[in-house]
Structure 1
Amino acid sequence: MTVSRAEHRRRTSRRVRLRRTIVATVAVVLITGGVAAFALTRTASPTPVAEPTTSSEPTPSPTPTPTPLSPAEKLLATTTDPKACAVSFVGDGIALEPQLQTEDVRYDELPLPRADGRVFAGWYPTAAEAASLNAAERINGADLVTCTDRERTLYAAWTTPDANAAEDTALPILMYHQFTRNPDGEDNWLRGNYAYIGDFDAQMAHIQDGKFYLPTWDEVSAFIDGALFLPKRSVVITDDDADSTWLEMAAPIVDGRNLLTTSFVITSARTEPTPNRFVLQRSHTHDMHRAGANGKGRMVNDDAATIAADLEQSAQILGAKEVVAYPFGHYNDTTKEGVRRAGFELGRGIEPGYVRIGTDKLALPVVRIDYGMTVDDLRAKIG
């Protein structure tokens, strides 16, 4: 095929332009230091390549979900007291919030649950002790609080009304008055009231070594109702009048032996706080420990409103009600009405006897301790 000169010139011109384009492209690549692979076509256009991007910020870690606080931990979070202890309660039918108690202080107002057809049998340090009703390990307001890592769990025990009745517990309330260091006693008209302090110490040792259960007054009330089981070896220790000999001689003994005792205080004569942590101070009236118009105590001379007002004044000084000991043991129906109006639940007289299920709560009997009674005499009365 013969090509004309004009066609030959056009083809030559196109080849020259293509060579110039290739040379220019290679020069650009060499100048920028790049390395590229490409194909030349008359119609293709180069496709841009996206540069990879990097970030200097780290990928955030997921926020951990905090572990919810237990009820005991929530309670402890409300106080900064290093001796605070959260006491939790477990057992069949128990649905109680934990209580805030204080280590090395007696348990305060432990709950006494009630349930139809059952009798509460106390709190214990382990489920096994609760199941066995081990009275020696039973815990109440006579015991000091101990904790591990500021927490403690108490286990509930129950028994039946029939088993409670079969126990037939007869609860003695011991009544002391004054004390003497003279083995031969005091030579005055109150001689019988004075317990020799050596005998008292031996009697307290018998109670301590015998691991008698020492119920609190709210437990006494629940026991009378038939709602609380008390073991046979239970006893309440009391002193009348808060005499100086009690404070100086006897109170240190019950403190040293960790024995819960109630001191019945005449608050017109004494307003000081308790001598130690094992002594409850309760009312012996404010100003009714004296004779009324008929020679008997004011508790059987004044009207119910006057009696109630006196007891209210006494309670304000002591910071507690619960129980009153009648001066001289004198009381009648008017006395009882005054006690009820003042909000007291229990009244203790001086009639000899034992507290049982169903006892009149405003006529609690006592076991009187007189001069000359030894530990053997006490053993004969309380076991």
Structure 2
Amino acid sequence: MKKKALWTIVILLLIELILVGVYFTKNTSQNKKLKTEESSILAKSSSREIKETTTTSETKPGEIDTTDWLTSDTDISFPILMYHSLTVSNDGNTLKLPPEEFKEQMEWLKENDYYTLTPEEAYIVLTENKKPKEKIVWITLDDGYLNNYTDGFPILKQLKLNATINYITSKQDNQYYFHQADMEKMKHSGLISIESHTVSHLDLNTLSDEQIHTELLDSKKWLDDTLKQQTSVICYPAGRYDDRVEKEAELTGYKLGLTTEPGYASKNDGLFALKRIRVSPGFDKESFGNYLTSSNQYANN
């Protein structure tokens, strides 16, 4: 009887050991499976993070994506349009253009599929010899007249065209020029760039080296600080410049210099001696288009 009871106990112990073994084997298998799944999830997550990081790093914030731009085997030249005051002239001043004519000309550019450049894009076109579209143009307005804001800005905004206004920084309190709040509103639209036309609008080639330095540096610093930007364009007052002015412009931190010399802009002339197309009053849509395209004859001069 005792022997039978002993065998019963042994059998029960063996069964218990078997059950315990099965339990631990099952748990071990599940743990391995869970760890494998966790490793797979972590690997996928890590892979996704790497991919996202790589994609993000290709184009930094504020950087222009030129992946789809057109490259050229020859130097690219293009028109830089030059405007001033957008108002009707009663004294024959050819620097004044009626807003209605400005609107028609902007409509012509839009209808004829012209891409309007920003200063940053113009710099890339000139230095890397590629462009965002087949037909490109850079619209510039000099001085910073109030009517550029009241009449010109609404037209550009309606047509979604980029333009650059070269501002005389000493005119901040002048009633005939737009002020800081106006330029901030235009800049925040994403369509208007505000660049330098010096502090006092003096003929730079007649000034001393020190005066040239002050005119270029002080206007750039004011625009940089006020608009939180890196001002890159200097537009020479009345188109007056010389070798000293070009050298000082580059040393001061500008990247491009605009003249009043007629013709298409090309890097062959130098980045600080870019030609422009002056637009005087009297052009309707058709004549403006003919004038713009025929002005290409100056590009290789």
The TM-score bracket by the shorter chain reads 0.7 to 0.9
CA gap 1:274/1:174 in 2 versus in 1, 3 angstroms: farther
Q: How does 1:287-366 map to 2 (within 5 A)?
A: 287=200, 289-290=201-202, 297=203, 299-319=204-224, 320-366=230-276
8 Å CA contact 1:170, 1:354 repeated in 2: yes
SS at match of 1:193: coil
2:10: which partner in 1?
Answer: 48
For 1:74 and 1:223, locate their aligned partners in 2 and report how far apart those are by CA, in whole Å: 28
- Matched to 2:89, the amino acid is E
- Cα distance in 1 between the residues matched to 2:103 and 2:115: 18
Amino acid at match of 2:98: Y
**Displacement after TM superposition at 1:364 (Å):** 1.2
The residue type paired with residue 211 of structure 1 is D
Q: Which has the larger radius of gyration?
A: 1
Displacement after TM superposition at 1:201 (Å): 1.0
Give percent identity, aligned residues only. 20
* Amino acid in the other structure paired with 2:112: G
1:176-325 correspondence to structure 2 within 5 Å: 176-180=83-87, 185-188=88-91, 191-225=93-127, 227-229=129-131, 233-270=135-172, 272=180, 273-275=184-186, 276-287=189-200, 289-290=201-202, 297=203, 299-319=204-224, 320-325=230-235
CA distance 1:317–1:109, shift in 2 (3 Å)? farther
State the partner residue of 1:172.
Answer: 79
Which segment is superposed worse, 334-343 or 225-234? 225-234
1:231 to partner: Cα distance: 5.7
Residues 84-118 of structure 1: per-residue CA shift (max 9 Å, x gap): xxx76xxxxxxxx33354xxxxxx3315xxxxxxx
Counterpart amino acid of residue 110 in structure 1: I
Distance apart, 1:71 and its partner CA: 4.9
Structure 2 contact 199–218 (Cα < 8 Å) conserved = yes
Superposed counterparts of 1:115-194, under 5 Å: 122-124=66-68, 158=71, 161=73, 164=74, 169-180=76-87, 185-188=88-91, 191-194=93-96
* Structure 2: gaps spanning 5 or more residues: 173-178, 225-229, 294-301
C-alpha displacement of 1:286: 2.1
TM-score by length of 1: 0.59
Contact 1:171–1:354 under 8 Å retained in 2:
yes
For residue 310 of structure 1, report the CA deviation from its aligned partner.
Answer: 2.9
Contact 2:71 2:129 in 1 (8 A): no
Does the Cα contact within 8 Å between 2:117 and 2:139 map onto a contact in 1? no
TM-score for both structures, normalised by structure 2: 0.74
Residues 206, 358 of structure 1: CA spacing in aligned structure 2 closer, same or farther, 3 A cutoff? same
Distance in 2 of aligned mates of 1:318 and 1:328: 20
| CA deviations over 1:41-62 (Å, ceiling 9, x no partner) | xxxx858231515569965433
Change (3 A) 1:158 1:175: closer
Answering whether residue 292 of structure 2 is matched by residue 382 of structure 1, we say yes
Q: 2:64 aligns with which of 97, 110, 122?
A: 110
The 8 Å contact of residues 224 and 357 in structure 1, kept in 2 or not, is answered as: yes
Q: Is the CA contact 1:324–1:346 (under 8 Å) kept in the aligned structure 2?
A: yes
Shift of 1:351: 1.4
Q: How many angstroms apart in 1 are the aligned matches of 2:190 and 2:51? A: 26
Give me the whole-angstrom Cα distance separating, in 2, the residues matched to 1:196 and 1:174.
16
**Which amino acid in the other structure matches residue 139 of structure 2?**
I
Structure with higher helix content: 2
SS at structure 1 position matched to 2:116: coil
Instruction: List per-residue Cα deviations over 1:147-183 (Å, max 9, x = no partner).
Output: xxxxxxxxxx655x2xx35xxx541110111112xxx
